[in-house]
Amino acid sequence: MRKALFVIFHGFDPNNGISKKIFYQVNALKACGLEVHLCYMDETSGKKRLIDNQVIADYGDGIIGKIKKRTEFSSVTQYAKENGIDLVYLRSNHNASYFTIQMVKQMKKDGMKVVMEIPTYPYDSEYKAQGISHQIYQDILFRNQLAKHLDAIITFSDYDVIFGQRTIRISNGIDFESVKVKKSVNNTSKELNLIGVAEIHTWHGFDRVVKGLANYYSKPQKYIVKFHVVGYFFSKEGEAKFRKIITDNHMERYVILYGKKHGGDLDTIFDYCDFGIGSLGRHRVGIDRIKTLKNREYAARGIPFIYSETDSDFDNRSYILKAPADETPIDINQVIAFYRTVKMTPSDIRDSIRDLSWECQMEHVIKSI
């Protein structure tokens, strides 16, 4: 294979974790020797489909634009054929339909290999938990038929088969050049600083940390523990609920909300903090096995961390504390005691996941197709 087309069905936010991940994947494919072109949507003014910043289809605005965005893919198949694309890498937006099936069938007819990444699987429960199951009715109807025409499904789960199609199992990767390692280990003799970074949803379970802090401070404490929360909330309702938990438990002094931070500002916060808070509420949306980007970022930063799901890349590592997958408040005394057992330096922790680089993951995909 020489040329690849990486297709996503939405646009970009330069500071969004998912958008960054896509760019890392594209760069990793290039590092593996492929010429890679990126197809995406621009919805800032009307709806346009672009490849490498060049408009290949302008759908206009309003209802017509919305419909064409979901149904017009001939511009993509034509580009792929005319430019000698060998491999098409689709990133599922849970948008299986008659039209995406026709797109894949045409690509296969033109001699291309076509794989599709499903970022989170299973995902039906996430929609159900948010009360928006209706958004994937069409996907549920067509996804098995779509999968049948693919060469493989890329998954970060432990499933060997998804929708009747074989999988290529990889891990969420890390772009080490973009993630700075923590400069040094802080003096934690009097204080421990926890950090949680996310686009905050209910499944992050950060409320369990707040309630754990409330339990911890229910007795006088000389040893200070603070929770630094970085990122915006997915919904205003979720933010209001989280803030109420903080105020109801009188934890305003110990829970600091930064909002969205990136670049040098985020690096500074990580250098100040000691211990990462991963997802603590995946059970709320029926997910047990998942390989999150956040776990990998914490390890690349060089800090120990806690989470409650099953992540086979980390479950048995000495710098990992596993929390129960339930609604119990996080035991802060346990966190403090565990942190004191960690002997690895930030560089040691970072080096332990070198095999999780995006280049290693994409190389596995190429070899498995």
Query: pLDDT per residue over 256-274, tens digit each?
Result: 999 999 899 999 999 999 9
**Token pair for residue 224?**
């200070």
Residues 218, 181 within the same domain:
yes
Provide the whole-model pTM: 0.81
Q: Which residue from 207, 262, 277 is spatially nearest to 231, judged by alpha carbons? A: 262
Mean pLDDT score, 72-78: 98
**What does the mean pLDDT of the chain come to?**
95
* Domains identified in the chain, total number: 2
Residues 130, 182 within the same domain:
no
Give the pLDDT of residue 128.
Answer: 81
46, pLDDT greater than 70: yes
d(CA 357, CA 353): 8
* 327 Cα distance to chain centroid: 23
Whether 251 contacts 217, CB under 8 Å: yes
Residues 26, 54 within the same domain:
yes
| pLDDT tier, 19 (very low <50, low <70, confident <90, very high otherwise) | confident
Residues 170, 190 within the same domain:
no
331-369 CB burial, b ≥16 within 10 A, e <16: bbeebeebbeebebebeebbebbeebbbbbbbbebbeee
What is the Rg, in whole angstroms, of the alpha carbon atoms belonging to the chain? 22
Residues 97, 204 within the same domain:
no
Quick one: DSSP state of residue 356? G
**Tokens 């199951």, located at residue:** 133
Give the pLDDT of residue 131.
Answer: 81
Residues 181, 148 within the same domain:
no
Residues 241, 338 within the same domain:
yes
- Most distant CA atoms of the chain, gap in Å: 71
Residues 286, 152 within the same domain:
no
| pLDDT tier, 212 (very low <50, low <70, confident <90, very high otherwise) | very high
Residues 195, 262 within the same domain:
yes
Query: pLDDT per residue over 125-141, tens digit each?
Result: 778 877 888 899 999 99
Residues 144, 210 within the same domain:
no
Find the domain containing 267 and state its range: 177-352
Residues 142, 188 within the same domain:
no
Mean pLDDT score, 23-33: 95
d(CA 42, CA 9): 10
Question: Which CATH number goes with the domain that contains 146?
Answer: 3.40.50.2000
d(CA 309, CA 306): 10
Give the pLDDT of residue 204.
Answer: 97
In a 3-state reduction of DSSP, which class is residue 51? Answer: strand
16, pLDDT greater than 80: no
Give the pLDDT of residue 127.
Answer: 84
Instruction: Compute the residue count for the chain.
Output: 369
Residues 181, 111 within the same domain:
no
Query: pLDDT per residue over 87-128, tens digit each?
Result: 999 999 999 999 999 999 999 999 999 999 998 888 887 788
CA atoms 286, 92, 86, 102: torsion sign: positive
Mean pLDDT score, 351-362: 96
| pLDDT tier, 356 (very low <50, low <70, confident <90, very high otherwise) | very high
